[in-house]
Structure 1
């Protein structure tokens, strides 16, 4: 029940945020504790946006608050990434009072032209909806609308909160009505037609596979997806952005499909399928192997959050969650034919295993990481070699993978680590949170390690020291100076940011044996406090997939005339 009497608009907003499920990256506002929220306080607004993104991928939704103009624009690159990758983040902007807006005063943080809408207009294309809460009488309904849209559409929303409106009071009874977070019902007749046709196709196909992608995770259909996989026992594959969407311990898990960048046995198995059930597809360049998917519309059913495609027919407005639920209820599973899958495992290739070289290379590292991972881990990989290397691992059950394959903002992972680690501390304290980041990417957002230390977070941070931007070298400029960086003493970072030496540890690994011994160290693996591991790797070495996709991307760049 809501408190009796009135409630300030800002407290109403915070309580609605709390109703959605958790803490948020907010500034030091006095009313946060009254709403059950917790102040984080990031080092800058861009990092806060990255952290909000990482937090939302664990808890379901998040929010950040910035000041008007300078703060909100600093955050927009991060918010744009959340929009691109279908992550629900509420961006709250503290804006000047309504009198200043009406009079067009030349306040600080403005462009000096009296236009107080210019920054909101910049945000419109990266928000599913937005509002400025200038009218107290409509504030409750506008807050509810913006928050509901953010959740249902799984994309950012923006709310401007004027300083004189924030303390204004409205009836607290508004809180008695829960937020409406239900997706609209599909049109029944069309939905039935879609389900019937998919059922017919599945019964007639002798070779059906399931391909899970990013939007299966973002639009919350994993329960239905898991049930479909386990009841049909169909060969199941994931895209890079779909990594972690299904239980990779299942015997019918077949690996990561990335078009021509896939392992040969995976590519052949998917390309030869008679019917593909493609759930939550997002065919960006890196996610599709440089647009080299070989799946045709004639043998594909696409499940999306706002439409369905069944072979050559498209059904706008028909949402995948209810379609999957009705399909699961309708199927006669004895009529669904299944087949074997490629053998994908964390076995280190024989040639690599037998090598006498102690150099840590990608062909050895990623299968070994797969052996070391545990059920329930959260693993974050940076836009770089790590993003491509993680494709070579087979996860234990319930591993969550966080990366930014589509937006690809370098430095994202460090901020996202802070948000994800905070979310796990609150909701899943038994889960390890692990980051793999390159030495180049780390330099963009390294100060968030300070925030992690301040909040007692316990991530394991692996810094890959390969002397610069290897992903860029693979695309263009292998020896170019613009892909070089100033080397850092990474093992000094935790002490630099003020970590208590008894509550933090750093390690340096220059050989396979050193890293192997660390993986076998139970205290290290139990993640008792924040830890940083610097891994030295050859500067010209890269994961198999990155080498392939680097060539494809370079070719696409040359063909399009881009740099």
Structure 2
């Protein structure tokens, strides 16, 4: 027999899945767990400005590290976070949500306790959470160890959030375990071998008979951390390869067979024309959401299709459950013919050259220019709205990872997500692109960037209001307007230059540029200086024409009216 403290068991399991930073907000029901986190030399607690921001940060962290975690308090805290957790469910990001709840006795006696609805139902929030998680539990002394493992294993394998509610009196409670604690079982199940062999044969037959096969890589490759396997397959085949918006960054733009972003009618004209000449479409981890497919405008209805997913394979209209791409994709690469495709590919289609007739910072100029200043191996975080769509056809940076919410589309997500990504890997430069409207929802996390000594480059795109909404409805309606802020003073306002924040051995960020840029020459001069000071946090307010938008967004907005 051996013993373990329940709270420490949770933390140990989080370490097993790669988590070393946990996000959240203190509350009276979770603080004993925060004690354990703060006393653990292998873990860091990142206190956030609110629980919603913490959930965004945990999601951004998970996009880089493979999993994330957030700690909130019962009721008020967890409901504040549930929008972000739902976004992680929608976009398949494994975030473990740990909730400190009232004492075990209170769950039985149901007194009129703070943070409850006052109706005696202490399980209501757990039931809410169960709808946006793949596994959830309200722990008891008897089930704690096995249920913690079940929730974390399920969430990690299925790449969706998990929920663990733990009564405050159980956090430091010691329980006996009958044997050694074994490692988590977090590998996906083996494929059904007989079916897999049949699938391999059918795929090879289709590939051998195709004259113009193409590959589209998509977001589930990223979520299931299969980038290496996907790139090996793409390199081995030599087939023309496109990326869906949610799969941006999987394939390096320098690959000879990389052809650009395909998003139906939102694609660059030449890209769409090239894609739609194919006679076999091989999809890797596709996510057929509206914004990821150009409002479902893929022009490939009559093309033979092979779709590899995490839990099944689809060949035309035949579905093969239990044959997931984790195992199938490397096998397929191994049995392909040694000779690469000999298709002659023209020069890759790129956005039209920058219009030099203006000094204004238009979207056409900005997204064709800014990539020149982004460092290799960086993390690029974009917000729902103009930046999210502007990033579609921006030239990819070598080794960069791209983070955005193309399916859930919760505005304000990017600020918290960039914080999480920056803490997930401090060696990588983070570039955050956020609009003025979205920034006003989650601006408080700038103070956490500074407190944690992080060095992102933050681009605040200021077009004076909710431009995406204006393009859909009510361009001159007051509900689409915002109070103007002095955005370029954000680092100062959030305490970046206060001596009290630099005392007591703290190591906050070194404040770099806080500037408003109005012209192209100002922007370019500023970016040169930004790259000369990589160890500082920089904030650029980029002023743009009020109704100027990326072409992708203009096309999409017309559909949404």
TM-score, normalization: structure 1?
Answer: 0.93
**Aligned residue number for residue 385 of structure 1:** 386
**Residue 30 of structure 2 corresponds to residue 25 of structure 1:** no
**Residue 222 of structure 2 corresponds to residue 217 of structure 1:** yes
Structure 1 residues 426-445: aligned runs within 5 Å: 429=427, 431-445=428-442
**Aligned residue number for residue 511 of structure 1:** 519
1:426-458 deviation per Cα after TM superposition (whole angstroms, max 9, x unaligned): xxx2x2100011111100000000111111111
Task: Decide whether the 8 Å contact of 1:208 with 1:338 is kept in 2.
Answer: no
**Aligned residue number for residue 67 of structure 1:** 73
**Residue 552 of structure 2 corresponds to residue 549 of structure 1:** no
Determine which of 437, 460, 463 is the counterpart of 2:460: 463
Structure 1 residues 201-212: aligned runs within 5 Å: 201-212=206-217
**Aligned residue number for residue 498 of structure 1:** 495
Task: Decide whether the 8 Å contact of 2:491 with 2:511 is kept in 1.
Answer: no
Q: CA RMSD in A?
A: 1.7
> Does the C-alpha gap of structure 1 residues 344 and 369 become closer, same or farther in structure 2, counting only changes over 3 Å?
farther
> Does the C-alpha gap of structure 1 residues 549 and 165 become closer, same or farther in structure 2, counting only changes over 3 Å?
same
Which shows bigger deviation, 531-540 or 312-321?
312-321
CA distance in 2, matches of 1:70, 1:93: 11
CA distance in 2, matches of 1:318, 1:377: 34
CA distance in 2, matches of 1:173, 1:24: 29
**Aligned residue number for residue 450 of structure 1:** 447
**Aligned residue number for residue 268 of structure 1:** 273
> Does the C-alpha gap of structure 1 residues 106 and 337 become closer, same or farther in structure 2, counting only changes over 3 Å?
farther
CA distance in 2, matches of 1:56, 1:366: 27
**Aligned residue number for residue 14 of structure 1:** 11
**Aligned residue number for residue 501 of structure 2:** none
CA distance in 1, matches of 2:301, 2:308: 15
1:451-493 deviation per Cα after TM superposition (whole angstroms, max 9, x unaligned): 1111111111000110111111122222221111100001111
1:85-125 deviation per Cα after TM superposition (whole angstroms, max 9, x unaligned): 00000000111122111112221111111111111111112
Q: Tell me how far 1:339 sits from its aligned partner.
A: 4.2
CA distance in 1, matches of 2:42, 2:179: 18
CA distance in 2, matches of 1:34, 1:335: 51
Q: Tell me how far 1:324 sits from its aligned partner.
A: 0.5
Q: Tell me how far 1:138 sits from its aligned partner.
A: 2.5
SS at match of 2:538: strand
Task: Decide whether the 8 Å contact of 1:265 with 1:342 is kept in 2.
Answer: no
Equivalences, count: 541
Structure 1 consecutive aligned stretches of length 4 or more whose deviation exceeds 4 Å: 171-176
SS at match of 2:254: coil
Q: Tell me how far 1:330 sits from its aligned partner.
A: 0.9
Q: Which has the higher helix share?
A: 1
CA distance in 2, matches of 1:511, 1:150: 47
CA distance in 1, matches of 2:269, 2:56: 35
> Does the C-alpha gap of structure 1 residues 175 and 529 become closer, same or farther in structure 2, counting only changes over 3 Å?
farther
Q: Which runs of 5+ in 2 are unaligned?
A: 499-509
**Aligned residue number for residue 400 of structure 2:** 399
**Residue 107 of structure 2 corresponds to residue 101 of structure 1:** yes
**Aligned residue number for residue 295 of structure 1:** 300
CA distance in 2, matches of 1:5, 1:308: 44
Determine which of 84, 101, 105 is the counterpart of 1:78: 84
SS at match of 1:64: strand
SS at match of 1:137: coil
**Residue 424 of structure 2 corresponds to residue 414 of structure 1:** no
CA distance in 1, matches of 2:152, 2:103: 22
Q: Which runs of 5+ in 1 are unaligned?
A: 555-563
TM-score, normalization: structure 2?
Answer: 0.93
1:158-214 deviation per Cα after TM superposition (whole angstroms, max 9, x unaligned): 011011221221247866411111100111010111111111111111101110111
Determine which of 234, 241, 249 is the counterpart of 1:236: 241
**Aligned residue number for residue 477 of structure 1:** 474
CA distance in 2, matches of 1:398, 1:422: 18
CA distance in 1, matches of 2:472, 2:133: 32
CA distance in 1, matches of 2:178, 2:163: 24
CA distance in 2, matches of 1:405, 1:525: 33
**Residue 192 of structure 2 corresponds to residue 187 of structure 1:** yes
CA distance in 1, matches of 2:41, 2:330: 36
CA distance in 1, matches of 2:83, 2:250: 26
CA distance in 2, matches of 1:58, 1:141: 28
SS at match of 2:375: coil
> Does the C-alpha gap of structure 1 residues 132 and 203 become closer, same or farther in structure 2, counting only changes over 3 Å?
same
**Aligned residue number for residue 117 of structure 1:** 123
Q: Tell me how far 1:396 sits from its aligned partner.
A: 2.2
SS at match of 2:35: coil
Determine which of 531, 543, 546 is the counterpart of 2:538: 531
Determine which of 528, 545, 555 is the counterpart of 1:520: 528
1:320-358 deviation per Cα after TM superposition (whole angstroms, max 9, x unaligned): 11110110111113274534155234x7615x03x1x21
**Residue 258 of structure 2 corresponds to residue 253 of structure 1:** yes
